Amino acid sequence: MSIVMIERKVLQKNDEIARRNRALFFSHGTFAINLVSSPGSGKTSILERTLEHLKGELQVAVIEGDIQTDLDARRIASHGAPVVQIVTHGACHLEAQLVEDALSNLDLAEVRLLIIENVGNLVCPANYDLGEAVKVVVVSTTEGDDKPLKYPAMFRNSSVLLINKIDLLPYVDCDLERLRKNALSINPGLTIFETSCVSKQGVKEWCAWLRSKIFFVSRS
Ligand code: MG
Ligand code: ZN
């Protein structure tokens, strides 16, 4: 058997479990997002701003994927949201099986929005469906404007792009218009928000988008 065939089998198995997760989310009216980015783009900070903004309005739960440590899960737990930590012990992406296991620790009937924070990596998480409704990719201005061209699969498979650390734009080598253009050249259907976890710019708009999706899911 060739290596290519083994890889295909692994992905087939993953897709099967992802379908199970998706059916479970659907049956509970839970809107699930898979938050992806390279390390340090600000996924956890965006999550914190999101939790603050939706507090008291929507039941949000979080699954935290990290290669090592529960530091991010501790940050999230301090906001009072249910959080399950997955430590991958070196693996550079989450798989549907890990999410399925984590779900046994959550009561989905009580969860309208589930945010899965993936391991910081713009490569293989693009290929692993977790059962989410949408992938949301975060790119910070400190990473420059060429990421969509370098990691096209992630941008092609995502529905939303958050351009984060927008407050740092005057200080970094990133052309915002070029970044937008590069992203849309890979995926013209991307919904784009510009966010800052410091000034909180864009958090309201991002949460309004989430709210509209959740409303749709819980009514269907
Ligand atoms: Mg994080
Ligand atoms: Zn990986």
CA 130 to CA 153: how far, in whole Å? 16
Nearest ligand to the CA atom of 154: 2
pLDDT digit string, tens, across residues 173-209: 999 999 999 999 999 999 999 999 999 999 999 999 9
> Cα(71) to centroid of ligand 1, in Å?
8
Dihedral sign from CA coordinates of 194, 153, 136, 102: negative
> Cα(91) to centroid of ligand 2, in Å?
6
> Cα(125) to centroid of ligand 2, in Å?
6
pTM: 0.95
pLDDT confidence band for 4 (50 / 70 / 90)? confident
pLDDT digit string, tens, across residues 9-66: 889 999 999 999 999 999 999 999 999 999 999 999 999 999 999 999 999 999 999 9
> Cα(216) to centroid of ligand 2, in Å?
32
Q: What architecture does CATH give domain 2-219?
A: 3-Layer(aba) Sandwich (3.40)
pLDDT digit string, tens, across residues 90-113: 999 999 999 999 999 999 999 999
Place of tokens 């391991």: 119
